[in-house]
Structures are given as structure tokens and as C-alpha cells.
Amino acid sequence: MATGRTPAEFTAALRAREQLVGYWSLLDSPVAAERLARLGYDYLAFDAQHGLFGYQGMLNNLLATDTKGSTAVGIVRVEANDPTYIGKALDAGATAVIVPLIDNAQDAADAVAAVRYPPLGRRSYGPMRAQLRIGPHPADTHAQTAVLAMIETADGLADVEAICATDGLDGIYVGPSDLRLALGAATSTDPSVQQEFEQALTRISKAAEAAGIAAGIHNADGTSAAHRLTQGYTFATVACDLIHLEQAAAGHLSAARQAGEAR
């Protein structure tokens, strides 16, 4: 089994544009998170924007990710580009935050400022749980935590080169469902905009490469994640526990029904 990285090692690998693979979680299930963290993933991403848990759930899942035998660090997609949400995720022990709905370079700069302590930013000091693994001194914390800006809107795509060039930004993260809708799709999986979508993904990965920052993307499965890693993306997430639970259960039900009908 792969050996887990410390937060400092993970962040260094992310910034060096090493290939990393993570898993996305919507469910408030620390027991499941503990098991997932032992599989070999580089990170578990907990979705506080659309996920089915509150602050206590986020904290408990981060704690579960850090248990013995884990190969993963815990990262959080925060609710919004807001210093309170970002600070609470970091104080709870997130190694990185994914900040949604970044439309321009100023949005990206605001996200960076919320992650960094003064004089580099405006994060309030109070790492009640994080100080046990990350920091606790500001300079050490800055070296060990990362901030990722989501590219998922028409404005964000239009300004992606400037966003990627934002001082202190560690990487970008593509939200494919919202990006596809931003390109005029009728649904989050509408194939009618596939060409435009692929062109957008190429533009985004090249902008990140030119800026020397990490480029990440959300994927429905491991095969898709592997494909994107061959296209210039440096980290890829497999999503997600709720959908995969449903798919696995449906598959077993179908197999059982077929066996029963064959009798």
C-alpha cells in the first residue's frame, strides 16, 4: 500500500505539479472516510458546498482521514469565497481548500488572502485543531497549506490566464458540470458542447502550465481521471461516494434479480 504524505509533503508535491489522485466525498460518514483514506488515494476531498454535512461533519471526516494507516490528506471545497468559511476549514485541519465560483483574478487574490496570515493575507489566527499537524507558526502554515481556485464559470474561463497568474495561488480545479452549463449545455452532461468543452479544458490546463501551478479536475470515474492526467492535468479527483454507493447497490440488485429470474 502507498505511504501517505504529510501535509507539507502533499503541498510540496502539488506545487511541483506531481500527479496526484483523490476521491470526492459528499456523505457525512467518518467511518467510510477512514476506510477510503487507507486505499492509497493522495487526498480525500470533502464537499462543504454541496455535500451533506455541516461543520461538525467536516471536522469529523478530517479527523477520520488522519487516522493510522491513512495514505491521504483531507482537503475541503468550501461553501464560498469567504474568509470565514475558508478559515474554519483550515482551522479544522484541511491541508488545502478548493474555492468555488472564481470569476476573475481579484476573486483568486481574495481567496489567497483568506488562506494566508498577515502580512501576506487576512486569515484570522486560531488553528485550534490544525496546529497539531499543520503549522502552527504562520510561515510553516503557509508552506504546508494550499489554495485552489475553481474554474467553472464563463467569466472564470475568459479570465483563466490572469487567474492562474495570481500571486500565491497554488492551483486551479475544474468543475466540469458547471463549466459545461456555462458553455451553453442543456444539462451537466450534454454532449452537444463536447468540442467547446474539450477546447476549454485544454485552454485551462495550458494556462496553469504556463503559470507553473497545479491543474486539477473532477471526474466521474478512474478511467476518466487517468485520461485527464495524460492531457496536462496534474491532479484528478474520482467522484463520488454517494453516486458510487448507488451504482454498486444497483449493480448488485440487478445481478440478484437476474439470478432469481433464471431459476
DSSP 206: H
- Of residues 60, 121, 126, 130, the one with CA closest to residue 94: 130
Looking up cell 471545497 gives 77
* 227 flagged as catalytic: no
* DSSP one-letter code for 124: P
How close are the terminal C-alpha atoms of the chain, in Å?
42
What is the phi/psi pair of residue 16, to 5°? -80, 0
Give the CA diameter of the chain. Answer: 72
**Three-state DSSP class for 114?**
helix
What's 152's DSSP letter? -
Enumerate the β-bridge partners of residue 150: 173
Burial string for 200-224 (b: 16+ CB within 10 Å, else e) reads: bbeebbebbbebebbbbbbbbeeeb
For 82, how many CA atoms within 13 A lie in the half-sphere containing its CB? 8
Instruction: Give me the residue label for grid cell 487507507.
Output: 38
SS3 29: coil
Closest C-alpha among 28, 26, 29, 10 to residue 18: 10
Q: Which of 50, 137, 244, 252 is catalytic?
A: 50
Q: Which residues form the catalytic set? A: 50
